[in-house]
A and B are shown apart, each in its own frame.
Chain A
Amino acid sequence: MDNIAGTKSSLTWAVHISVVLLVALWLFPTVGLLVSSFRTADQIATSGWWSALGTQKRQEPAIRVEGDQVQEGDVYVIHGELFPVADAKVSAWGTSSREPEAYEPGQTVDIGDGDTLTVSESGAYTLTSPESLEGKRLPRIFSTAATPPEFTFANYRNVLFSSTAAAGVGQSFVNTLTVAIPATIIPILVAAFAAYALAWMEFPGRSLLVAAVVALLVVPLQLALIPLLQFHNAIGIGKSYLGVWMAHTGFGLPLAIYLLRNYMVGLPRDIIECAKVDGASDFQIFTKIVLPLSFPALASFAIFQFLWTWNDLLVALVFLGTDDQRLVLTARLVNLLGSRGGQWEILASSAFVSIAVPLIVFFTMQRYLVRGLLAGSVK
């Protein structure tokens, strides 16, 4: 399409710029959270994440001079560092909160009693006094410094492995995996057989059944919550993993049957008829010919169902319950939003723990996902 006559080249740059803007706009929110998840709680709370990428100039909290004094000739001296860890650059400093930017780096200042203080650009300070500083109240240093970007994995360690704080994210990760995998695999087989029957077997009521599947495709699962919970309680599985798997299987079936049937109908009739002439039974045709040929459709559905079960909140809340040990990631996140709404370092890293797996699946299997979408909605 891009080299047909009349596509004006003067418009091309405009298209490029528009797409860059669009992509930037769409990425921006996710990148924001990703960057935040690698910042310390302090940094997140005091500055926007977009400033984390460059060097940040900000006023540091006051630091009191400390350290052991050494006698150098007839004066007592304390040497120290304002920023022992970070690689900061001091642009101004002061000794009172009223004038935090009173002095230049490198300047030596008399702070009374004959004491002098100097702060270098790198944050090293020297306090000099004619008499012993033992037991004396030492001055505080206010500084404005530029700190280079600083990132940490501590948040992830914290939410995944620590037993305190946001404990449970690691557990929830396992729970989500436990819900998603069986709930993805089981409906595929059930649906594949049904789809084959609806696509290639002649029997009365077939078109009625197809219509029913299409109708059930849009039935809101909200309607199923209470009746099914009652049913699960009645047969004794109550709120359990088995219940969630069954619920996800039931809710996923219409899409599975619909997608697979649409795909199987499109398989070449010759192959199937030849096999029939050669004496293959329906069961053989299905397992030996149709199933292998339908792999792309099976993959599409598997990805859909996996993303859907991994990301689901409602079904898990209702059929698995809100017991802390069994919370899935999405439910855990909702809890964290409520209880730790301000602690972005925990929220951001927990959110990314939950987003990571679907994103990996998305980027590695995008081809099948797109194919499935096209088969599912354009018909």
Chain B
Amino acid sequence: MNPALQGVITIIVGVGGCIGYFFLSNLVLDKFVFPPVGKHAGRNINRANLVRPWLFLLPAVIALGLYLAYPVVATFWLSLTDRDAGGAFVGAANYVQMMNEPKFWEAIRNNMLWLIVVPAAATAFGLIAAQLTDRIAWGNIAKSLIFMPMAISFVGASVIWKLIYDTRPADQDQIGVLNAIWVGLGGDPQTWLTIPFWNNFFLMVVLIWIQTGFAMVILSAALRGIPEETVEAAIVDGAGPFQIFFKIKVPQIMGTIVVVWTTITLVVLKIFDIVLAMTNGQWGTQVLANYMYDKLFRSFDWGVGSASAMVIMLLVMPILIWNVRTVRKEMR
């Protein structure tokens, strides 16, 4: 069957199925299971209202449980077993094997670098962009142009930046901007993506370029939410623009800065597409998610692959706990 047709049918079946389920399950509940008539009318209404939330929640709960909660457990179990041995329990063997691979440690080191550099740089650029664009008339246009890379896929962005890092032999014109500038300044053409260690930063630039717009949008809203009196009071006290920015504004939006920082951190922890498309982890640019993909789908080593996925989960854990605690506090 033509996939497009299949898609249309799926939409109809999916949407129709959802509506049908919600409508019919409500109908059955009200008309047949606990009808609000007869001598138990009041009791039945109460019972129906006890059941109804779960009718509303059921599809979502099943989907969440099956597609997100169960895999965490299953992956943990896979990381403790050996696929070649028919899924036999091997304890921590996969983890030990992973720890002995230099590529794993390279991935850990690079992920840490990414974790430090990208959120910091994107938040800083975003903050600068937000502060500057808020003060000028055409700020909204500027904002949407800086925000634009957000809509571009990581792979598309990788193609865009690969052109910038392109290298031609020394006797030809350079078609990559970076080399054109470098040669213009008197250097020899470099293959930027193969320079050990520094190539990581050339990859990070791509993500910073994408995430700055996100940081800018959120921080700009926060900056606008600052009560004007605090700024005016500072001006009356003789504070300069930089003092106002760093001593009055930034402290007041610290909460938002933390949120932006952690959101970008989550993106960084899962970074995969950019590395796959630009270097595929060669020349010392491996990261955890790509390492995991290598293990799972190229060497078909599910044990080690799942173990590295658990490492990513472990790194996400602090943010997860912090988020849950924040929400629990708000719910009370």
Question: Which residues of A are interface residues toward B (Cβ below 8 A)?
Answer: 1-2, 4-8, 11-12, 15-16, 18-19, 22-23, 26-30, 32-33, 36, 44-50, 174-175, 177-178, 181-182, 185-186, 189-191, 193-194, 196-198, 201-203, 206-207, 209-228, 230-231, 241-242, 245-247, 249-251, 253-254, 257, 281-283, 286, 307, 310-314, 317-318, 326, 329-330, 333-334, 337, 344, 347-348, 350-351, 354-355, 358-359, 361-363, 366, 370, 373-374, 377-379
Which of B5-13, B89-97, B101-109 lies at the binding interface?
B5-13
Asked if B247 is at the interface of the complex by the 8 Å CB criterion, the answer is no
Q: How far is the CA of A361 from the CA of B15 in the complex (A)?
A: 23
A36-B163 contact given A190-B60, A254-B68, CB 8 Å threshold: yes
The CA of A99 and the CA of B74, in the complex, are separated in Å by 73
Smallest Cβ-Cβ distance to A46: which chain B residue: B173
> Which residues of chain B come closer than 8 Å to A11, judged between CB atoms?
241
Chain B hits for A377, CB < 8 A: 218, 259-260, 263
- Known contacts A351-B160, A363-B144, A15 near B57 by CB under 8 Å: no
Closest CB of chain B to A158's CB: distance in Å?
16
Shortest distance in angstroms between A254's beta carbon and chain B's nearest beta carbon? 7
B197 at the interface (CB under 8 A from A): no
Known: A15-B132, A194-B59. Is A314-B160 also a contact (CB below 8 A)? Answer: no
* B232 at interface, CB cutoff 8 A: yes
Q: Is B85 an interface residue, CB under 8 A from the partner?
A: no
Are B277 and A379 in contact, with the CB atoms below 8 A?
Answer: no
Q: Can you list 9 A-B pairs with a CB-CB distance of less than 8 A?
A: A1-B223, A193-B56, A216-B68, A223-B71, A223-B310, A334-B277, A347-B162, A358-B151, A359-B151
For A226, give its contact among B78, B155, B212, B256 (CB under 8 Å). B78
Q: Residues of B contacting A15 with CB < 8 Å? A: 132, 135-136
Known A29-B164, A311-B156; judge A370-B217 contact (CB<8 A).
yes
Taking the nearest CB of chain A, how far is it from the CB of B92, in angstroms? 18
- Chain B residues positioned under 8 Å from A33 (CB to CB): 159-160, 163
Chain A residues near B139 (CB-CB < 8 A): 19
Q: Is the CB of B68 within 8 A of A224?
A: yes
Is there an interface contact between A227 and B56, defined as CB atoms closer than 8 Å?
Answer: no
Complex formed: what's the CA distance from A316 to B145 in Å? 29
Give the bracket for the number of chain B residues in contact with chain A. Answer: 35 or more
**B37 contacts A by Cβ under 8 Å:** no
Contact A254 B64 (CB under 8 A): yes
Cross-chain pair count, CB within 8 angstroms: 351
Partner of B175 from the list A29, A48, A373 (CB cut-off 8 Å) is A48
Q: Is B296 a contact partner of A225 (Cβ separation < 8 A)?
A: yes
Q: Which of B32-90 contact A (CB under 8 A)?
A: 49-50, 52-54, 56-57, 59-61, 63-64, 66-72, 74-75, 78
Q: Which residues of A contact B209 (CB under 8 A)?
A: 26, 29
Residues of A with C-beta under 8 A to B203? none
User: Does B293 sit within 8 A of A, measured CB to CB?
Assistant: yes
- A49 close to B175 (CB less than 8 A): yes
Enumerate chain B residues within 8 angstroms of A215, measured Cβ to Cβ: 320, 323-324
B276 within 8 A of A: yes
B26 touches A242 (CB 8 A): no
Name the 10 nearest CB pairs between A and B, nearest first.
A250-B67, A311-B153, A194-B60, A227-B74, A362-B151, A6-B235, A224-B71, A197-B56, A351-B159, A227-B71
CB contacts (< 8 Å) of A354 on chain B: these are: 153, 155-156
Distance of A15 Cα from B242 Cα, bound (Å) = 13
Known contacts A249-B63, A251-B68, A344-B175: does B145 contact A26 (CB below 8 Å)? yes
Taking CB atoms, residues of chain B closer than 8 Å to A311 are: 152-156
Q: Across the interface, do B156 and A1 meet the contact criterion of CB distance under 8 Å? A: no
| Shortest distance between the CB of A293 and any CB in chain B (Å) | 17
Residues in A whose Cβ lies below 8 Å from that of B163? 29, 32-33, 36, 49, 344, 347-348
* B246: interface (CB < 8 Å): no
Chain B residues near A241 (CB-CB < 8 A)? 3, 6-7, 10
Q: Check if A251 sits within 8 Å of B67, measured CB to CB.
A: yes
Residue from A7, A29, A355, A366 in contact with B135 in the complex, judged by beta carbons closer than 8 Å: A7
Q: Bound complex: CA of A309 vs CA of B211, how far in Å?
A: 18
Give the distance in Å from the alpha carbon of A22 to the alpha carbon of B141 in the complex. Answer: 12
Q: Is A211 a contact partner of B324 (Cβ separation < 8 A)?
A: yes
Q: How many whole Å from A283's CB to the nearest CB in chain B?
A: 5
Expressed in whole angstroms, the minimum distance between the Cβ of A362 and any Cβ of chain B is 4
Chain A residue nearest to B292 in the complex (CB): A222
B4 in contact with A359 (CB, 8 Å): no
B98 interface residue per 8 A CB criterion: no
Q: Which residues of A contact B222 (CB under 8 A)?
A: 378
| Chain B residues with CB under 8 A of A4 | 228, 231-232, 235
Cα(A222)–Cα(B288), bound, Å: 10
With A186-B11, A283-B26 already in contact, 17 other A-B pairs whose C-beta atoms are closer than 8 Å:
A6-B235, A19-B142, A185-B15, A186-B15, A203-B53, A207-B328, A211-B331, A212-B64, A215-B323, A223-B312, A228-B67, A241-B3, A313-B276, A314-B293, A333-B156, A334-B277, A355-B151
Check if B312 sits within 8 Å of A189, measured CB to CB: no
Residues in B neighbouring A230, C-beta threshold 8 A: 74
A246: chain B residues at CB < 8 Å are 67
Q: Which of B11, B68, B228, B259 contacts A378 (CB 8 A)?
A: B259
Interface centre among B30, B153, B163, B332 (most CB of A within 10 A): B153
Asked if B153 and A313 sit within 8 Å, CB to CB, the answer is yes
Whether a CB of chain A sits under 8 angstroms from the CB of B189 is: no
Residues of B250-290 whose CB lies within 8 A of A: 256, 259-260, 263, 266, 269-270, 272-273, 276-278, 289
Contact residues in A for B154 (Cβ distance below 8 Å): 311, 313, 330
Q: Is the CB of A174 within 8 A of B4?
A: yes
Interface digits, B231-243 against A, CB 8 Å rule (1 contact, 0 not)? 1100100000100
